[in-house]
Each structure stands twice: as structure tokens, then as C-alpha cells.
Amino acid sequence: AHAHSRTAAMMAASLRALLRARRAALPLRRSGTQSLAPDRRLLSTSSGKNPTATFETTLGTFKAELYMDKMPLTASNFVDLAEGGFYDGLHFHRCIPNFMNQFGCPFSKDPASGRAGTGGPEPGSTFQVGDETVTREGGNIPDEFTAEISNMPMTLSMANTGRPDSGGSQFFINIGHNSYLDWFDTATPSKHPVFGKVSEGEDIVMKINTAPTDPSDRPVKPIQMISVSVEK
């Protein structure tokens, strides 16, 4: 009877975690250790002409190349939000050691908000991708499943709810090689397209990842994004 109760409790906890992840824009964590092995699909992603984003946080500054050449829609969405000051003053709301750091929810401006992880850009807002105007229907952008770039350590990847076209402003920085989150990995339902990679300040990213967190994976001492700027 005790074993049955424990099994039922474990199943209920797993179901609650799945439902929370599907309601919010969260990548699902797979148990076990993620591989740090290189992936051939990530090679030669840089054109040398891509924009660089500078992230100034309360724990230090890091930079990332944005794959505008291979992921123009997703990278342009990020640039538009960054240049409009959308990310300034927000907090990292979910940091899991050896997995990822998640950021970009407007509700995280209040680091204690229970809604952090569920928000996005203003519904109906627009941004440019070259000469094309893209509308964020419901605050979301179309999935850009084009370049097969794996969710390797230090890559920037779009968060979503698991439903099609549900990404918006939230993204995460991979710490492990989370290849099961690749949109082109048909073995799992997770589909998180990569649109950039940290190029400087990996130590700062790791400092954020290893900061003490509460049971909901929120940093105990708030980690704020002071500003995000983009050099084209």
C-alpha cells in the first residue's frame, strides 16, 4: 500500500510539472546528464557579420552573437525587443544548474511575481524582417524551423509552451547539450529553435546558473538584466 501511494504521488508530481511547463513558456528538463559532445550541425553557424548583443546584469556582462544570417525572423524579433528596451529591468526567473537559464518574461520585472514565465510581447505588436513586417499574433511569433542548430552549451534558444507558434520574448541559455530540445529531433515533442550563442562572458552565464534558487528554480537573490544593447 505504501509503495502504491508513493508511485501515485510520483505520477501526480510529474503530471503537475508537465502541466506547469505547458502553461508557461518553459523547456522541459529531461532527467539525467546532458551530453557536452560537439554536434556537427552547429559548425560554421557564424557568418562573421551577425549582430552582437550585450547583456549587462547585476552579476556581470556577457555577449552573444545573434544568428541573423540563418535565423532572421527569430533574431529580428529579439533585436526589435532589445532596441525598444523590453528586456531592461527584467529578472532571470528560472535557473537550473547544468540545464539552462531562462529570461525574458515581462512579469519578471517584479522578481517575486508568480506570473513570471507566462508573459510575452504586446499582442499585435510588429517588427521588421528585412522588408517584411511581422505581426506578433497574441504576442507570439511564427516558429522558425529552418536552420538545424543544436541546443548546445551557451546557445540562445526560444522558449515556448509546446504549442505551435507560441514563442515571444522568452528565451533560455543552454548550459548542457540539450539536444532533445532540438526542433529537428523527432524523438521528442520539444521544439526550441536556437538563434544565437554566447561569445564572451561564459563565466558570468555560469555564475547566474549556479546562483542559489528556491524550489521553483527562481534565484533567491534576484538577478536583474540592467540593459540589453545590440551592435549591428
Kind of pairing between the strands at 126-129 and 60-66: unpaired
DSSP letters spanning 119-178: --SPTT-EEEETTEEEE-BTTBB-----S-----TTEEEE---SSTT-BSS-EEEESSB-
**Is-contact 25 163, C-beta < 8 A?**
no
Q: Which one of the listed residues 78, 99, 127, 171 is annotated catalytic? A: 99
**CA proximity to 144, closest of 167, 177, 169:** 167
C-alpha cell belonging to residue 26: 518553459
Amino acid (one-letter) located at 219 = P
Torsion angle (degrees, nearest 10) of CA 18, 106, 192, 16: 0
Q: 64 phi and psi, to 5 degrees?
A: -145, 140
Q: Which of 34, 77, 102, 178 is catalytic?
A: 102
Phi and psi for 65 in degrees, rounded to 5? -80, 135
Annotated catalytic residue: which of 94, 136, 177, 218? 94
| Residue of 160, 178, 209, 224 with catalytic role | 160
Q: Which entry of 86, 92, 171, 172 is annotated as an active-site residue?
A: 172
The question of whether 218 is a catalytic residue gets the answer: no
Residue 86 a catalytic site member: no
160 is catalytic: yes
Q: Is 195 a catalytic residue?
A: no
Is 181 catalytic? The answer is yes
User: If we measure between CA atoms, which residue out of 162, 51, 158 comes closest to residue 103?
Assistant: 158
Is residue 99 part of the annotated active site? The answer reads: yes
Active-site hit among 29, 93, 136, 192 = 192
Kindly name the residue from 55, 181, 195, 218 that is annotated as catalytic.
181
Known catalytic residues are 94, 99, 102, 160, 172, 181, 192
